[in-house]
Structure 1
Amino acid sequence: TVASTLIFVLVLLEANRLHMLRHPWGNRAEVSSPTLRCLIQLHYYNRILELLDTIFRISQKKFRTYGALHFYLRLVNVWSWFAAARVGGGDAFFITALDSAVVAVRFIVFTLSLL
């Protein structure tokens, strides 16, 4: 949750520095920075670790605790990674910011539901 929230904030700050927030989509692919690329990579490496966690749990036959929403979110992560890698700069920040915000909110809700 902390990593997703931090990445969300840093991606928005970097996108603002690059003047990409005025038009969240439709930005040229050339508009990017090494910092933005690094943040996008970090976000999706974190998502890949979550995907591996899901695969390990399924292989241990512990998938009864996971619902259809969990698998749907993992598929969305794979699609988002493909889209971010395909789009590159430009609009990739929007996909990353949106996904990291959803992940942060999701983990906060999961944590609060355990209390």
Structure 2
Amino acid sequence: MDAPTISLSPAAARRVAAIAEKQGKPAILRLSVEGGGCSGFQYKFGLADGPDDGDSVSQTDGVSLVVDAMSLDLVAGCVVDYVESLGGAAFRVENPNAAASCGCGSSFAV
């Protein structure tokens, strides 16, 4: 059975690479899911030094996206994008598994 896929959009990969370069860290974005937020679960982003045991890893333009096994169940099939709008700029998860999400785009329900 193939592992569920999650990926970075090219725009998100460029943004991660720029942030990592400024901070002198590897271009590795960790996405995790925590309980809470206005819809039940919330996304958490951060730079990582490397993948942990059991992480799912995907690559886009030389940038890695790592997700732990527990979070992967909730975000399988997602694309992490970077969106700039009048309201600001942010990483956004396009999650086909979410039954509902909130207006802020950082929390969801399944």
TM-score over 0.5 for the alignment?
Answer: no
Larger RCO: Structure 1 or Structure 2 (Cα < 8 Å, ≥ 6 residues apart)?
Answer: 1
Normalized per residue, which structure has more strand? Answer: 2
Please state which structure has a larger fraction of its residues in helix.
Answer: 1
Larger of the two Rg values belongs to structure = 1
TM-score, with length taken from structure 2: 0.26
TM-score normalised according to structure 1 size: 0.26
